[in-house]
Copies of this chain bind each other. A is one copy, B any other.
Amino acid sequence: MVSEFAIGWPEIEAAQGRIRPWIFRTAVTELQGWTGSTTASLAVKCENQQRNFAFKARGACNAVMSLTAEQAQQGVVTHSSGNHAAALAWAAQQRGIAAHIVMPENSAKIKLDAVRRLGVQPVLCGRTNEDRERVASEVAERTGAVFIHPFDHPDVIAGQGTVAVEILAQYPQADTLVVPVGGGGLLAGTLLAVQTLRPEIQVFAAEPELADDAFRSLKSGRIEPVLRTDTVADGLRTSLGQLTFPIIQSLVQDVLCVSEQSICRCVSELALSSRLIAEPSGVVALAAIQEHAELFRDRRVVAVLSGGNLDQMELLPGSLNPAEKKPAQKSADRSE
């Protein structure tokens, strides 16, 4: 079967072999005591424990390792406010080539620092999409580096598709997957992998209400822009791409929106109930299962826990013991 899309199963299968030496085969962990869960079983794919703490390592690694020797010599460039930035810096380091990382000045500090720790000084730019793209183009032109788009790139989509390949092998009883959607690289890769391997499995996408562009795009039938960029899920503030949109439009079961409150509560509950640390963008799929519980009743669900770069420590419970509630005054006293 020839895929009607920019990439298909052969590219995902090739990615799987290509990135295996570099990435972690993260665990699928069943959740215990998950508040109000009516699922038959609920498990998470722990990409919060992936290299650099995000699934982005997969796509970036696949793209970098796919370059010809001549291309690689020129280095790579990207723009990203988040986990793709560190992922590309890391993948370039593995191949021993230069990486130029353009990041908005308002990127999360933990994500800026992750890039710096990999020995790359981010090129800061303004906050809009246009700012990012302009600066990245300038760098590409000046250096000759190959541009690796954070999601709308065939090798990146294929790399992200390996998450689903692993889930289906590790948790074959799954009948439903829930995946966060920002630009749609992970979602598109997941949909393509599932379509080939287990087409009867339903794949839902999840995004913040405050960045509900994928939901609106499915309704209108064209790529809708993100209207606000203030969701706490900073990794999901992007609209869909030219490559990802048709795949999503054709194959996704539905796009579920979740409130900011629900995202924040989910970060805390996950630490409390399962000792898992994930960032707000990372828990959106899980938050969708809580908010839309009726859709998942009696189903065997795997949610992708997609990132572990938690900058907002205040989202963690003051103690891992839920019975203990310390008044704010007390914690102020303690630091004196």
Contacts and interface: CB of A to CB of B under 8 A. Distances in A.
A310 interface: yes
* Chain A interface bracket (under 10, 10 to 19, 20 to 34, 35 or more): 35 or more
B113 A323 contact: yes
A278 to B, nearest CB: 8
A36 to B, nearest CB: 16
A20 interface: no
Interface string A312-336: 0100101111111000110110011
A38 to B, nearest CB: 20
Contacts of A113: 321-324
A32 interface: yes
A49 B29 contact: yes
A30 B323 CA distance: 33
A116 B324 CA distance: 13
Contact of A323 (B26, B117, B275, B321): B117
Nearest to A320: B310
Given A27-B27, A29-B24, A117-B323, A49 B274 contact: yes
A131 B29 CA distance: 39
Contacts of A109: 321, 323-324
A271 B275 CA distance: 10
A188 to B, nearest CB: 26
A97 B32 CA distance: 21
A53 interface: yes
Given A27-B27, A32-B24, A275 B311 contact: no
A110 interface: yes
Contacts of A51: 32
A157 to B, nearest CB: 24
B275 A49 contact: yes
Interface in A117-159: 117
Contacts of A332: 332, 335-336
A29 B32 contact: no
Contact of A275 (B277, B321, B335): B277
Given A49-B275, A332-B332, 6 more contacts: A27-B27, A29-B46, A48-B275, A49-B274, A110-B320, A275-B278
12 contacts: A24-B30, A27-B27, A27-B29, A27-B46, A53-B275, A109-B321, A109-B323, A117-B323, A276-B277, A277-B320, A311-B319, A332-B335
